[in-house]
Chain A
Amino acid sequence: MSMELASYQKETVPVVSSASKWKKRIPYIIAYGVLGVTTLPIILMYVWLLVSSFSEKMKFGFLPVNFTVENWRFLWSNVEYGGSMLPSIWTATWNSFVFSGVLTILEVIIGVMAGYALARIEFPGRQALMKTTLLLHAFPSVALLIAVFYILNFIGLFDSLFGVVLVKTALQIPMTAWIIKGFFDDVPWDVEWAGLIDGCSRFKVWFSIVLPLIKPGIAAVSIFSFLSGWSEFLLLYTFILSDENVTLSSYLQKLLSDPNMVNYGLLSAVSLFYMLPVLLFFIFTQKSLMQVSAGGGKRV
């Protein structure tokens, strides 16, 4: 109590001595210090990646030797690795975009409808459904690999991007629906009722009044699903074999497949290339991403 009072008085005094100014800054200095030390390794890793991609080799593992763009040759020519030609990076990039794009579209469409149903419509088994969907989300996808392989093989979608999109969508939907449900929960019933009274059907209200209100949620979910599609590796690596269906993450894996002959310069360059869209995406969509924490789920 006396501490609080003292600091309150200090703030109201117009002239502040330099000693107390420093005292005030101490928490910030500590915070920045701790954060700086802990993030330093991560930043250094990225710096290393960038430097290594533009040099012939790294002396003692960290001193760059000779500037070169040779490591970036995959952009304009096909790369030979371990005696075989790797597929074009552009095929892989295109495939990654298609994979993430289709995933995003499917996820948003299904998630938006499922989320609305969970938030607003009373039906038997709603609670049970919501609990099991969460459980499903907690399920590790590795455990499902073999079963999924049999199913994909059976319906003829093995080694097809679309097949993996379906699997990934199914695994992502629970979380997406939950997040979207949180946003629907925040839309007041009054607005929906007003729409009904003003002459809309339930579907029309959903589409023309409620959906525009949860735009931030839709944005957040689309970004999340795009990013998770972009960084997906396990499912793509397991269920895609042919070179024309390769995606960037599998492409990267090909460069690492033989530990004895890894070209670290090339690997760094491809890694950076793979990261670039994600970085750009983050910069432009940061605000919408933050929205997710705003729309927490309420009604179970």
Chain B
Amino acid sequence: MKIELKNICKSFNTKSNTINDMNLTIEDGEFVALLGPSGCGKSTTMLMIAGIYKPNSGELYFDSQLVNQLEPKDRNIGMVFQSYALYPHMNVLDNISFPLKQQKVAKEERMERAKQAAEMVQLGHLLDRKPSQLSGGQQQRVALARAIVKKPKVLLLDEPLSNLDARLKIEMRGEISRIQKKLGITTILVTHDQEEAMTMADRIAVMKEGQIIQYSTPMELYKQPKDYFVAQFIGTPPMNFLNGSLSNHQLHLPNTIIDLKRRLLEHTDGDIDVHVGIRPHDLTVGSNGDVCVKGTVNLIEPIGHSQMVSLQVGNQQVRFFADLSTRIEYGSEIEISADISALHLFDPTTGKSLKQESAGKELIHS
């Protein structure tokens, strides 16, 4: 089912809008993540799609049918809550079959379908347990089975993985993706974990203070962030930032001056300060690249296949990855470099990217 939000506004008090004039289109069968820090309105957006909250203004369409005033029970949606919200007084089977019971599905068929759903999330052997007798991961699976049992048109996932431990998270991540692809169900995931959003979603809407900052595919967000906020939010470890300044297409960094090609930038006049972003993965030891940075090593973190090194550059930290074979010592001064195409430039006042759209596209394709 295609979901469209048009100029949606929602406020809980008269002072400010929690959601401000939001536009979002989710295609049929698409897996979209709403990503942002806590309090940015992503859960509110989801609850509006669920019908729990009604928007103050704007329109919400399901397959081009206006559903603003439709009650949640008539929307044919399934939802997994962060707290799982299982019914504690019912056993697993009753929990899963509850949505079918509300649709007045005959008992035999109901049990059959509930068992199928339970099987799909590998819970077949726990049907008689009460939620309190299950582990967090198992409760999560029950919640997922309950959400998909009635074959809803939309699946809403509200931070479904945040209460699981790291290993289980990765496991469930794969499982949810697999089920979503198998059922071809339009899915919306709310999360503050960019890794979760990156790995699972087809498209990500990065939100901040009730507005969508950028809405595109995970790779595009990573390679071509349109905004400083997106750039520092997406990617682990986060993008490194240095303060620099631009004048006449020359970029001044603490100890280097780089000549930028004209085509790389949106048109700018005069001298301005800029945030210069470089992803840790784009940096290598040595001075082979176009952009060289010198700094003092102040932290080395081995992570198995490589080591993550933090450099002190001026009063800023720069992280990069080094081969295990490279000998790096605490306190030593080393030089690292990156390709000029790996640079991201942002206007510090507006946060907008100064890189030309076309330049970015070229970089992605090359």
Where the two chains meet, the residues of A that have a C-beta atom closer than 8 Å to any C-beta of B are 188, 190-191, 193-201, 204, 209, 212-213, 215
Beyond the given pairs A190-B85, A197-B77, A198-B102, 8 more chain A to chain B contacts, judged by CB atoms under 8 angstroms and listed by A's residue number, are: A188-B85, A191-B85, A191-B86, A193-B47, A193-B72, A194-B146, A197-B72, A201-B73
CB distance from B74 to the nearest CB of A (A): 8
B-side contacts of A188, CB under 8 Å: 83, 85
- The answer to whether A199 touches B81, judged by C-beta atoms less than 8 angstroms apart, is no
B160 at the A interface (CB under 8 A): no
- The answer to whether A198 touches B83, judged by C-beta atoms less than 8 angstroms apart, is no
B36 at the A interface (CB under 8 A): no
Where the two chains meet, the residues of B that have a C-beta atom closer than 8 Å to any C-beta of A are 47, 50-52, 71-73, 75, 77-79, 81-89, 98-99, 102-103, 146, 150, 156
* Chain B, residue nearest A191 (CB): B85
Q: Report Cα–Cα, A190/B73, bound state, in Å.
A: 15
- The answer to whether A197 touches B103, judged by C-beta atoms less than 8 angstroms apart, is no
- The answer to whether A197 touches B89, judged by C-beta atoms less than 8 angstroms apart, is no
* Residue of A188, A191, A199 most packed against chain B (CB within 10 A): A199
- The answer to whether B89 touches A213, judged by C-beta atoms less than 8 angstroms apart, is yes
21 sample A-B contacts, Cβ–Cβ < 8 Å, listed by A number? A190-B81, A190-B85, A191-B86, A193-B52, A193-B79, A194-B85, A194-B86, A195-B87, A196-B51, A196-B73, A197-B78, A198-B73, A198-B98, A198-B99, A198-B146, A198-B150, A199-B73, A199-B102, A204-B102, A212-B89, A213-B89
Q: Report Cα–Cα, A213/B131, bound state, in Å.
A: 13
B-side contacts of A215, CB under 8 Å: 89
CB distance from A205 to the nearest CB of B (A): 9
- Provide the main secondary structure of the chain B interface: loop
A-side contacts of B146, CB under 8 Å: 194, 198
- The answer to whether B102 touches A200, judged by C-beta atoms less than 8 angstroms apart, is yes
Q: Report Cα–Cα, A81/B32, bound state, in Å.
A: 85
* Chain A, residue nearest B80 (CB): A194
CB within 8 A of A197: which of B73, B82, B86, B88?
Answer: B73
- Provide the main secondary structure of the chain A interface: helix
A-side contacts of B77, CB under 8 Å: 197
A-side contacts of B52, CB under 8 Å: 193, 196-197
CB distance from A148 to the nearest CB of B (A): 41
* Chain A, residue nearest B81 (CB): A190
A-side contacts of B103, CB under 8 Å: 199
CB distance from B76 to the nearest CB of A (A): 9
- The answer to whether B73 touches A193, judged by C-beta atoms less than 8 angstroms apart, is no
- The answer to whether B88 touches A196, judged by C-beta atoms less than 8 angstroms apart, is no
B-side contacts of A199, CB under 8 Å: 73, 99, 102-103, 150
Q: A197-B50, A198-B146, A200-B102 are in contact. Are A209 and B72 (CB under 8 A)?
A: no
Q: Report Cα–Cα, A201/B84, bound state, in Å.
A: 20
A-side contacts of B87, CB under 8 Å: 191, 194-195, 209, 212
Q: A191-B85, A213-B88 are in contact. Are A197 and B79 (CB under 8 A)?
A: yes
* Chain B, residue nearest A205 (CB): B73
Q: Report Cα–Cα, A213/B150, bound state, in Å.
A: 24
CB distance from B211 to the nearest CB of A (A): 25
Q: Report Cα–Cα, A204/B150, bound state, in Å.
A: 18
A-side contacts of B73, CB under 8 Å: 196-201
Q: Report Cα–Cα, A161/B179, bound state, in Å.
A: 63
* Chain A, residue nearest B75 (CB): A197
- The answer to whether A194 touches B89, judged by C-beta atoms less than 8 angstroms apart, is no
Q: Report Cα–Cα, A108/B82, bound state, in Å.
A: 33
Q: Report Cα–Cα, A267/B50, bound state, in Å.
A: 66
* Chain A, residue nearest B74 (CB): A199
B-side contacts of A198, CB under 8 Å: 73, 98-99, 102, 146, 150
B-side contacts of A193, CB under 8 Å: 47, 50, 52, 72, 79, 81, 85
Q: Report Cα–Cα, A104/B77, bound state, in Å.
A: 40
CB distance from A124 to the nearest CB of B (A): 15
Q: Report Cα–Cα, A198/B47, bound state, in Å.
A: 14
